[in-house]
A and B are shown apart, each in its own frame.
Chain A
Amino acid sequence: AQSVTQPDIHITVSEGASLELRCNYSYGATPYLFWYVQSPGQGLQLLLKYFSGDTLVQGIKGFEAEFKRSQSSFNLRKPSVHWSDAAEYFCAVGGYGNKLVFGAGTILRVKS
């Protein structure tokens, strides 16, 4: 069965610092992988997705993620965090029938 682990419940970074959010997945076939962001009171917004091909994918708002099959990981990165990036971030794996399985999320706090 599909599963996603986000090891960090909370992360705090200083504005302007780099960011890496960790995601590990379990899936028997080639995974479809996603990162979503959720601001308070808002729905989920897709940041980026990986289906196949280049293992480094670019997304919106300056985010990128790297797929590493050997480590079953899909970590999200941003070189310089802005205060507006404070939100909750969810990694998800997609499987048959367009179903998504989400991790528990990582709450990002940005300190000025």
Chain B
Amino acid sequence: EAGVAQSPRYKIIEKRQSVAFWCNPISGHATLYWYQQILGQGPKLLIQFQNNGVVDDSQLPKDRFSAERLKGVDSTLKIQPAKLEDSAVYLCASSLVRHPPYNEQFFGPGTRLTVL
């Protein structure tokens, strides 16, 4: 079974530029998550999708971050414009469903973003 795919693996941009990350979840997984992992910290949830709908984006900085999952499969996370503090690893994860008792989240390798 193929895992969660993410691209690119690395990205370096100047501040105020735009960047987009792509994620393809495990086939059949209805729930998709984007996390931000700043160096020295644990991953923090940015946004959670159930199929193609957003179920939690409370920690997404909506003035500069956006995400979509138009067909309920793959997803794109965009930052526009980027700031220095956006330098982090962006992890995508997926799970079968989001309801209790709980379903394991499977993580992709992440995209390491450096903003200069």
Contacts and interface: CB of A to CB of B under 8 A. Distances in A.
Chain B at the A interface: SS class: loop
B102 A92 contact: no
Given A43-B4, A46-B104, A92 B109 contact: no
B44 interface: yes
A41 B109 contact: yes
Interface in B26-59: 31, 40-45, 48, 55-56
Contact of B48 (A44, A99, A102): A99
Chain A at the B interface: SS class: strand
A96 B45 CA distance: 13
Interface residues of B, number: 28
A98 B109 contact: no
A98 B99 contact: yes
Nearest to B91: A43
B102 A90 contact: no
Contacts of A4: 42
B108 interface: yes
B109 A102 contact: no
B80 interface: no
Nearest to A45: B107
Contact of B56 (A51, A92, A97): A97
A44 B108 CA distance: 8
A51 B42 contact: no
A97 B48 contact: yes
Q: Lowest 8 CB-CB distances: which A-B pairs, in order?
A: A102-B42, A43-B107, A98-B98, A44-B107, A43-B109, A32-B102, A102-B43, A43-B108
